[in-house]
Structure 1
Amino acid sequence: MKTFKTLSATALLLATSGMTLSAQEVAETPTPAITEPAIDAVAIRVNGEDIKQSEIQAMADMMLQQAQASGQPVPPAMREQAIKAAEDNMIIQKLVTSEVAAAEIVVTDDEIEATIEQIKTSLPPTIDFDQALAMQGLTIEELKENIKDDTAARQLIESKTQDVAEVSEEDARAFYDSNIDKFAEEPKASASHILLSFEEGESDESKAAKKAQLEGIRAEIIAETITFEDAAKAHSGCPSSAQGGSLGEFGKGQMVPEFEIAVFSQDVDSVGEVVETSFGYHIIKVTDRTDGGTASFDEVKEQIIGYLNGNAKQEAVGAYLESLRKSATIEYVTADAPAPTN
């Protein structure tokens, strides 16, 4: 059955298999092209049900295509990981499908239609629903069947977390106290600037003239004969001039030292004295600044509780899926595969 990208239990199962590489492995390995699906032979049997090599290859290629679409390189080592992850996920899908059938989970037409509406509203403005179906190679009936299967699987998975106890405030507090370093907040500032850039080999006299020009611009801003934003658009040599000189928010270590010292020392909303850096002369207006420190427990309590609850549910789902695998008869049919397990 073809796969449509919905909010599905399939996505949950895919998330249980890691496909990570070190930065060095990614950097040193060229990106290969996605290969064609392998020959349509049986690769694995799960409780007597076949998983074909073409199904595994199709899922692995989908993972790799998603990685490529996000701009991530796809070295050969990742291809191997994708095949292994696809095998594991196909096994889990077979086991979950059997459990869904045994549990007699019913998915209503209203639930299916609601998911279709969710898909429609999430599509980019340039792609309509029929185009999206065509891009996936699906008919509407195939999509509905996929949604039905995915929804039933999700309901089964969610049922395995119903007895997971909610994390208490005391648990959250203990996590906070044990991980206090994770809640450190670096000093940040938002600032705008006007830059008169240096040219290569520029003379001291020319630089002095630019400094005098910028001091004059600063005086006009302070006298309110022109706004900082308009002055930046008219005079600044930085691309930020298009945004009135705004550099947005940044932390320490992101700007050259002279610029950083000025930003984190001058008064907020004031137009500071001319600052010289390797780029040229600047005048800076700090629009906001936070001194950093450590977030209080009350500030992050709900975030911690949500994180710990999510972890507890993930562990419950992982234990359930592992129990399904341990009780199943799994036979690897390929010549170099491991022996059957049960």
Structure 2
Amino acid sequence: MVNSGGKTEAVYALFKLSWSQFECAPDQLDAKQKREAARLIANQMEIERAVLSSDMCQGVIISEGQVKKSIEEIMERYENEIAFDHALEQADLTLDFLREGIRRDLLVEATLERVSASVPEVSNAEAELFYYFHPDRFAVKERRTAHHILITVNDDYAENSADQAFARICEIRDRVFKKRSRFKEQAQKHSECPTALHGGKIGEVERGQLYPELDEVLFTLPAGQISEPVQSSIGFHLLYCTEVNPPRTVPLEEVMPKLKASLRDRQQAIYQRQWIKEQLTHQTEMPQVVNS
């Protein structure tokens, strides 16, 4: 087991980055991913050392509760505690090393929060100016709430031949067209799509999210209308448009709180990056102590 400080930090950094960047365990990284991970880790460790050696880090306290919560969040990625322990072993980590790595991460985060705490709140005027200069950010496309019933085409089954599938979907349409309230019940009984469990509900969609054939029909249907049978590459569908939400621009008053918070987060991130750059420069300029 590796136990020297710098190497342990690198092992923990690889364990963390493998999941956050590549969504896999360290031993599952390919050669290209390992090279990229090594580059990112070297950069991260340089920043971490600069932050933790700064005056702003002095007096920052991380509680055991914070560390415990972070470990529990990591453990949730695994089926059970045995799988978690195995992952640590494979990564050449112990629980104590993991705990110490998490404590350092939290300390870096808390220090950077302290650094940027002096960034002023964003004013209404600043947020309003951003809103009017970036109208595309607040434009919402047309969305429609859709349900469907699917009868698949599969020549291996007589009842799912193209002719039979079309005949079945036409029979279903006759029933639901006479009484639209039956659409959910008919979807549950006959639809061969997983959405049948929810009465055929696809949900709220924008253009381009469905098969092109379905998309074209759905976005011409008035609210409350059921389509004629529509053929796609997997079979025949009935589409039911239950709601139309036209394109719009979200009003300023609706987005103001989130917009102000987002703009301040961005300003804090900029301030933190500049501060980190200064710390790295200062660290580079510090005279090296030569042991005699």
State the alpha-carbon separation in 2 of the partners of residues 145 and 58 from structure 1. 9
Q: 1:221 to 1:312 in 2, by over 3 A?
A: same
Maintained 8 Å contact 1:197/1:279: yes
Helix, strand or coil for the counterpart of 2:208?
Answer: coil
Cα separation, partners in 2 of 1:235 and 1:172, compared to 1, 3 Å = same
Matched, 1:192 2:147: yes
Alignment TM-score, normalising by the size of structure 1: 0.64
Unaligned runs of 5+ in 1: 3-36, 41-50, 201-205, 332-342
Q: What TM-score, normalized by structure 2, do the two folds share?
A: 0.73
Residues 263 and 286 in structure 1, CA contact (< 8 A), matched pair in contact too:
yes
CA distance, structure 2, for counterparts of residue 126 and residue 54 of structure 1: 26
* Cα offsets for 1:238-258 (capped at 9, x unmatched): 454344322233221233454
Give the conservation status (yes or no) of the 8 Å contact 1:112–1:144.
no
Q: Which residue is 1:68 aligned to?
A: 22
Q: Tell me the distance in 1 between the aligned counterparts of 2:227 and 2:164.
A: 19
Identity %: 21
Tell me whether 1:112 sits opposite 2:68 in the alignment. no
Q: Which amino acid aligns with 1:127?
A: N
- Give 5+ residue unaligned stretches, structure 2: 156-160, 287-292
Q: Secondary structure at the match of 2:203?
A: strand
Cα 1:306–1:75 change in 2 (3 A) is: farther
- Alignment deviations for residues 28-60 of structure 1 (CA, whole Å, 9 cap, x no partner): xxxxxxxxx9xx9xxxxxxxxxx9678557635
Q: Alignment length, in residue pairs?
A: 275
Give 1:326 deviation, angstroms: 0.9
The residue aligned with 2:262 is: 307
Higher helix share: 2
The separation in 1 between residues aligned to 2:231 and 2:105, in whole angstroms, is 60
Return the offset for 1:64.
4.0
CA distance in 2, matches of 1:278, 1:151: 51
1:283 aligns with 2:238: yes
Question: What is the CA-CA distance between 1:229 and the residue it aligns to?
Answer: 2.5
User: Which of 114-123 and 214-223 deviates more?
Assistant: 114-123
C-alpha separation in 2, matches of 1:148 and 1:67:
20
Q: After TM superposition, list the pairs within 5 Å mapping 1:183-332 onto structure 2.
A: 183-198=138-153, 211=166, 213-224=168-179, 227-277=182-232, 279-329=234-284
3-state SS in 2 of match to 1:329: helix
Distance across 1 between alignment mates of 2:95 and 2:33:
32
CA–CA distance in 2 between the matches of 1:93 and 1:78? 22
**Quick one: which of 93, 112, 118 aligns to 2:48?**
93
User: Matched residue of 2:187: which SS?
Assistant: helix
2:166 and 2:43 mapped to 1: Cα distance?
65
- Across the aligned residues of Structure 1 and Structure 2, the Cα RMSD in angstroms comes to 4.0
